[in-house]
Structure 1
Amino acid sequence: MKVKATINRITDKPESTVKAYASVSFDGAFAVHGIKVCENEKGRFVSMPSTSYKDRNGETKYSDTFHPITKEAREALNQSVLNAYDYKLQQMQATEIEIEETQEEAEEAKEYPEPELGM
């Protein structure tokens, strides 16, 4: 089975355990959306999409709307999502270019200021 993951959105809340949202397709025939990439003190993990409901005592409970059944399927899904997440982070870092002005350039800018245009 071919498992292909796509990162749909990276979160911008550093304090949140949810780092990204992903979609996964299986053999190009089925798709699952709302998979979360999470990270806590124990490490990075994949969380399946779920719905919440209140039980008889009024407590909020969660139920996965999708989950792999076999160990092999879970490993393939997790690896695909985490690989896609790592790839997306690398892409983002590659496009973040910071240009620092050298001391020499700063001194040159002081020596030759740009002319003011007056009318």
Structure 2
Amino acid sequence: MQITEVKVFPAKENGRLKAYATIVFDNSFIIRDLKIIEGNKGHFVSMPSRRRKDGTFRDIVHPLNSETRQAIEDSVIKEYHNSVESV
């Protein structure tokens, strides 16, 4: 599966949440509402999640291996940096 499109949308607030992202695989599968968060060691990508009845959060979608997670994170962070530089 190849990442064929990444779109980044800046967050409106000025906290740790920097942007939202949408990613498309093989021009046929889309994942929306990934979050780009500024952490202590740099930016990272948080998967879309839903709050459970007990107040905890659970990812709705997530990669099943570290290689796929790294590919997603690299693509999204790269596009985020490109969008910040172009402003």
TM-score under structure 2 length normalisation:
0.91
Q: Percent identity?
A: 34
* TM-aligned CA deviation for residue 66 of structure 1: 0.6
Q: Distance in 2 between matches of 1:12 and 1:88?
A: 15
* Greater helix share, structure number: 1
Partner of 1:13: 13
CA RMSD of aligned residues (A): 1.1
Number of positions where the alignment pairs a residue of Structure 1 with one of Structure 2: 86
Kindly state the Cα deviation for residue 82 of structure 1 after the two structures are TM-superposed.
0.3
Bigger Rg, which one: 1
* Unaligned ranges ≥5, structure 2: none
TM-score (norm 1): 0.68
Instruction: List, as ranges, runs of 4+ consecutive aligned residues in structure 1 with deviation greater than 6 Å.
Output: none
Question: What's the offset of the Cα at 1:13?
Answer: 2.4
Structure 1 residue aligned with 2:76, among 78, 81, 84?
Answer: 81
Where structure 1 has 5 or more consecutive residues not aligned to the other structure, the ranges are: 93-119
Q: Which has the higher strand share?
A: 2
Paired AA for residue 10 in structure 1: P
